[in-house]
């Protein structure tokens, strides 16, 4: 099945070419300087360790301390100019000036920034000091968002290795700032600061199911739409802030709006990449920013009552004709709540048959520390995802509010619509990965392209071409055996692609790492530039240990897998493949070389393996490939041999030296394999032989033929 999603808009925004900080040092010196406020950093680290999650923001413990000349930085950011059509002989735009951002490891990354319209044009005129940009790496495949507001500069960069870097003020102030020529900032990594991103959020989406307006999106009822229009959607977003939220962020309308802008700028990074959707704050936004908790219209700290108040308030204060989606930010520990698939819906009947107005404002998010990436991604992106039509994706039986029909992630799950960090022993991880599961993308696409969410918003034709992807043909594997999934993709625009292999089975609720025959076994992982996925991950295969959220099947069953490819510009495409699992009663596994060994070139050794009935129907693996593999997935084939359980091999004479390698026996037609458990060292020479990705890991011929068909238009969806 070929699924083609919708993608990125043709940006009408001005490309911001920002004067170089390092290119012309005779004119500019970098506003960023390393700082050494160690004693205060240590004190803060001690305070952070003592902080109780949910009561205050947990500060990062590993970071690069910096000083920023905010005067110079703001001046540089204001020097954005329209990019003139000064083309060179090859027709490419000449871009000379670049922006450099500091990374935690002491280096800087070069980016080009494009100004974004998180604020509507009218709102931007009211608050000219609030600016936002989208950034893209010049020499690296990275993307991100930056902003400069009353609360200082904020930066977020998504790196090619799956990590995320943040650049934020270090003074812990949430009030409006006085510009300084030596303001303290920190640059820190998400991977290196586990506690800082722990999720202690709860979502009450199911509460609206029992109190819900009798309104079901037809698109969701019929299933995912597979042929979305090639248009980008901009929704008019109204975000109310309670007096408590505004006080936390400085107490003024402009400071609260600054905080809201930083959050929505981050949310848009994800929504534009995965959904081709932009959220833009409405001109009347300041009308629903409240500075006094005693006089604002939000008198309850109960989530359901808060969204009921928000629906009524936005209907009267802003007017239903003046926004597409409404939400309210507050401060408190009651988490979030949102009605499902209500974007664009003005009114609906409740369970008593009475008409309720302002349904599209039915969403709230609250935290004791309503700031930072955890609030933006784990909280806000999640709740607004509900409003756009996405249900929960976790399958844990111990975690309430499971989405029937969309519970495709084992345990707590890890994507935006999951409950990462909230399911106790079923937790895969404490924090959410900043991406939607493909099932969530399908749900939101269904609602926004052909359901209720298609009745509002500005739709802009796009020029970006979607990537093309093939997951290959269905295949059969033995139970209890590692597998490798391989996709082949291309992009006519030459965009750098990221991949995500995900299971899409929603069976019975179950515990993590239990094969009940039809439920989710394989977790989603962070986006990667690799088209391959080892299950379990190769580091665990080498160690011979089980992977949390990558439990190998032990029953006869079908596993439906889907690969989703993103081009980073809103272009998303997916293809699925069925993995038929057959339990032969034993495991296909290498039985020799269980101890550490050293080999020289030309040495001979015998590899043995348990065939485990894989040579017979229905698996029918008649031959296997034997080779060497290293932890990065690279290796060399040595011999192809009958799948009979034993083969003498010779270490190639032209092989280079290797350490921590393994022998691998693979059935490339069926994509399953096993490796020896002992660590191998190969004493090689200077030659590299044919070292590279193993034949097992190369794209099979039938996949190349399939991709050729797709590229020629033989099987591509006819989009309108």
**Count of other CB atoms within 10 angstroms of residue 185:** 25
Between 405 and 651, the higher pLDDT residue: 651
Whether 684 shows a pLDDT value over 90: the answer reads: no
Whether 48 shows a pLDDT value over 80: the answer reads: no
Which pLDDT score is estimated for 219?
A: 36
Which pLDDT score is estimated for 330?
A: 97
Which pLDDT score is estimated for 56?
A: 44
Cα separation values, 286 from 317, 487, 641, 645, Å: 11, 48, 72, 72
| Residue 299 to residue 330: CA distance in whole angstroms | 11
Between 167 and 546, the higher pLDDT residue: 167
Name the band, by pLDDT with cuts 50, 70 and 90, for residue 76: confident
**Which residue is associated with the tokens 């599961």?**
437
Which pLDDT score is estimated for 398?
A: 81
Residue 309, classed as helix, strand or coil, is helix
CB-side neighbour CA atoms (13 Å) of 648 = 3
Name the band, by pLDDT with cuts 50, 70 and 90, for residue 202: low
- How much of the chain exceeds pLDDT 90, in percent? 62
**Which residues does residue 364 pair with via DSSP β-bridges, in sequence order?**
328, 337
Which pLDDT score is estimated for 195?
A: 65
pTM, full prediction:
0.87
The whole-number average pLDDT for the span 53-78 is 76
Between 90 and 199, the higher pLDDT residue: 199
The whole-number average pLDDT for the span 657-673 is 94
User: Which of the residue ranges 179-193, 650-664, 706-720 has the most confident prediction, judged by mean pLDDT?
Assistant: 650-664
Long-range contacts, 118-121 (Cβ 8 Å, 24+): 118/147, 118/261, 118/264, 118/265, 118/268, 118/279, 118/280, 118/281, 119/261, 119/280, 119/281, 119/285, 120/236, 120/280, 120/281, 120/282, 120/283, 120/285
Name the band, by pLDDT with cuts 50, 70 and 90, for residue 72: confident
Whether 481 shows a pLDDT value over 90: the answer reads: yes
Whether 112 shows a pLDDT value over 80: the answer reads: yes
Whether 2 shows a pLDDT value over 90: the answer reads: no
The whole-number average pLDDT for the span 156-168 is 89
Which pLDDT score is estimated for 192?
A: 82
Which pLDDT score is estimated for 196?
A: 64
Name the band, by pLDDT with cuts 50, 70 and 90, for residue 437: very high
User: Which of the residue ranges 83-92, 443-452, 679-688 has the most confident prediction, judged by mean pLDDT?
Assistant: 443-452
Which pLDDT score is estimated for 85?
A: 38
pLDDT tens-digit series, residues 342-369:
999 999 988 888 899 999 999 999 999 9
Domains of the chain: 7-197 (no CATH), 207-390+430-454 (3.40.390.10), 391-429+464-578 (no CATH), 589-705 (2.60.40)
| Residue 508 to residue 577: CA distance in whole angstroms | 21
pLDDT tens-digit series, residues 555-593:
999 999 999 999 999 999 999 999 999 999 999 999 999
The whole-number average pLDDT for the span 416-437 is 93
Which pLDDT score is estimated for 266?
A: 97
- How much of the chain exceeds pLDDT 70, in percent? 79
Which pLDDT score is estimated for 433?
A: 94
- What DSSP letter does each residue of 344-396 carry, written as one string? T--EEE-TTS-EEE-GGG-EEEEESS--HHIIIIIIIIHHHHHHTT----B-B
**Count of other CB atoms within 10 angstroms of residue 460:** 16
């Amino acid at each position: 099945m070929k699924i083609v999603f919708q993608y990125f808009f043709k940006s009408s925004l001005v490309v911001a070419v920002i004067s170089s900080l390092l290119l012309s040092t005779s004119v500019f010196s970098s506003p960023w300087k390393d700082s050494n406020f160690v004693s205060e950093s240590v004190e803060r680290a001690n305070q952070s360790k003592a902080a109780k999650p949910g009561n205050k923001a947990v500060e990062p413990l590993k970071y690069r301390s910096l000083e920023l000349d905010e005067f110079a930085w703001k001046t540089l950011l204001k020097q954005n100019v329209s990019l003139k059509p000064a083309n060179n002989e090859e027709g490419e735009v000449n871009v000379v000036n670049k922006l450099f951002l500091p990374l935690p490891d002491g280096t800087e990354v070069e980016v080009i920034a494009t100004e974004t319209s998180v604020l509507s044009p009218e709102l931007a005129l009211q608050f000219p000091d609030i600016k936002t940009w989208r950034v893209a790496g010049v020499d690296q495949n990275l993307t991100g968002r930056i902003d400069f507001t009353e609360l200082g500069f904020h930066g977020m960069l998504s790196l090619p290795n799956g990590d995320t870097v943040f650049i934020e003020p270090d003074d812990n102030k949430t009030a409006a700032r006085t510009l300084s020529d030596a303001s303290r900032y920190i640059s820190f990594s998400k991977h290196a600061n586990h506690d800082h991103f722990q999720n202690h959020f709860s979502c009450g989406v199911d509460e609206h199911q029992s109190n819900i307006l009798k309104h079901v999106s037809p698109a969701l009822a019929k299933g995912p739409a597979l042929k979305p229009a090639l248009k980008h959607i901009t929704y008019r977003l109204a975000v109310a802030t309670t007096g408590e939220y505004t006080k936390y962020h400085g107490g003024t309308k402009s400071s609260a709006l600054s905080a809201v802008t930083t959050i929505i700028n981050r949310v848009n990074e994800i929504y534009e990449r995965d959904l081709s959707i932009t959220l833009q704050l409405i001109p009347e936004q300041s009308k629903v920013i409240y500075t006094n908790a005693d006089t604002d219209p939000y008198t309850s700290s109960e989530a359901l009552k808060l969204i009921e108040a928000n629906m009524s308030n936005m209907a009267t204060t802003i007017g239903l004709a003046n926004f597409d989606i409404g939400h309210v930010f507050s401060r408190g520990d009651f988490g979030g709540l949102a009605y499902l698939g209500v974007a664009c819906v003005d009114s609906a009947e409740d369970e008593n048959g009475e008409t309720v107005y302002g349904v599209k404002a039915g969403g709230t998010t609250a935290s004791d520390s309503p700031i930072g990436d955890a609030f933006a991604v784990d909280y806000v992106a999640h709740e607004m995802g509900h409003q756009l039509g996405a249900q929960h994706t976790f399958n844990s039986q111990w975690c309430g509010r499971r989405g029937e029909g969309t519970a495709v992630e084992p345990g707590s799950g890890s994507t935006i619509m999951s409950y990462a960090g909230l399911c106790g022993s079923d937790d895969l991880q404490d924090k959410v990965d900043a991406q939607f599961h493909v099932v969530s993308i399908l749900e939101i696409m269904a609602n926004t392209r052909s359901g209720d969410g298609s009745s509002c918003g500005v739709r802009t034709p796009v020029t970006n071409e979607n990537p093309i992807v093939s997951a290959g043909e269905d295949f059969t594997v033995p139970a209890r055996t590692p597998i490798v999934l391989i996709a082949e993709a291309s992009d006519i625009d030459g965009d750098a692609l990221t991949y995500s292999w995900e299971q899409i089975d929603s069976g019975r609720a179950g515990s993590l790492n239990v094969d009940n025959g039809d439920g989710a076994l394989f977790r989603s992982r962070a986006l990667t530039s690799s088209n391959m996925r080892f299950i379990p991950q190769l580091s665990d295969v080498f160690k011979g240990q089980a992977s949390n959220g990558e439990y190998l099947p032990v029953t006869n069953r079908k596993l439906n897998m889907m690969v989703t490819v993103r081009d980073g510009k809103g272009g998303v495409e997916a293809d699925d493949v069925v993995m038929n699992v057959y339990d032969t009663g034993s495991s296909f596994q290498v039985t020799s070389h269980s101890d550490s060994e050293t080999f020289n070139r030309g040495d001979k050794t015998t590899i043995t393996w348990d065939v485990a009935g894989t040579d017979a129907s229905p698996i029918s693996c008649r031959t296997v490939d034997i080779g060497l593999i290293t932890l990065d997935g690279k290796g060399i084939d040595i011999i192809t041999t009958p799948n009979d359980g034993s083969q003498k091999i010779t270490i190639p004479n032209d092989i280079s030296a290797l350490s921590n390698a393994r022998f691998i026996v693979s059935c490339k037609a069926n994509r399953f394999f096993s490796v020896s458990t002992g660590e191998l060292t190969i004493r090689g020479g200077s030659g590299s032989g044919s070292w590279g990705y193993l034949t097992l890991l190369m794209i099979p011929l039938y996949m190349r033929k399939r991709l050729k068909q797709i590229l020629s238009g033989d099987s591509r969806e006819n989009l309108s």
